[in-house]
Homo-oligomer: A and B are copies of this chain.
Amino acid sequence: MTAMTTGNTSRADANRRRILDVALAELLRDPDASMDQIARAAGVVRRTVYGHFPSREALISTLVDGAVEALAGADARARAGVTDPAEAVARSVLALWPVADRYRLLIALAQRTVTVQGIRERLAPLRENKVRLLQRGLDEGAFSSPLPAPALAYVHEQMLFAVMEAVNDGLVAAEEAGRSATVAVLTAAGVPAALAARLVAEVS
């Protein structure tokens, strides 16, 4: 059992992956889900989870690492070589949307003050990129808001969360959600609604 650290059997690998997958879903449903709930949902006994992850903290931390990597990657790829702030935001949000949806749990966890050490910290670089982009847009007059760029970044994040909730509650169609959210975010940044809609239509 201690040898699981080498973890190279197919069975063990599959289990580990499934535990992570299920944990994501389960923690999304309830951020306080116990190890037992997660284990059962993964079709495994609690003891087995501890074979793969030394602690609850470690399990969540692994989840966070994966999420941060996926988010940062998607954002970087989407914005590569784009100079227009509005278009950059549009591409970024469109690309981030599915990833953020999958890892939505993080947003929920990051909102709670008491959680895994440093979720916010690990997301900070990503956020800083966004703040810089927004600042540039405000400076160039592409955006317009009474809020300073960092606050606007908060607002954008929360807006995504809100739209995800709306999808969850059946208020918005899943296929449309990404585009709608992007238009909404641009609009909130002061881009005229018509322009935002056109831009998103072109880009996606």
Question: How far is the CB of A116 from the nearest CB of chain B, in Å?
Answer: 14
Question: How far is the CB of A86 from the nearest CB of chain B, in Å?
Answer: 14
For the complex, what is the distance from the CA of A146 to the CA of B79, rounded to whole Å?
23
For the complex, what is the distance from the CA of A157 to the CA of B169, rounded to whole Å?
15
Binds B, one of A7-15, A65-73, A178-186: A178-186
What copy number does this chain have within its complex? Answer: 2
For the complex, what is the distance from the CA of A163 to the CA of B30, rounded to whole Å?
25
Pair B150/A184 contact, Cβ less than 8 Å: no
Pair A147/B161 contact, Cβ less than 8 Å: no
Contact of A172 among B32, B151, B193 (CB under 8 A): B151
CB within 8 Å for A151 and B166 given contacts A113-B29, A113-B30: yes
For the complex, what is the distance from the CA of A113 to the CA of B28, rounded to whole Å?
9
| Total interface residues in chain A, CB < 8 Å | 41
Pair B151/A162 contact, Cβ less than 8 Å: yes
Q: Which A residues are within 8 Å of any B CB, using their own CB?
A: 29-32, 108, 111-114, 144-148, 150-151, 154-155, 157-159, 161-163, 165-166, 169, 171-172, 176, 179-180, 183-184, 187-188, 190, 192-194, 197
| A–B complex contacts, Cβ < 8 Å, 9 sampled | A111-B111, A144-B187, A148-B171, A151-B162, A151-B163, A154-B171, A155-B162, A155-B166, A158-B165
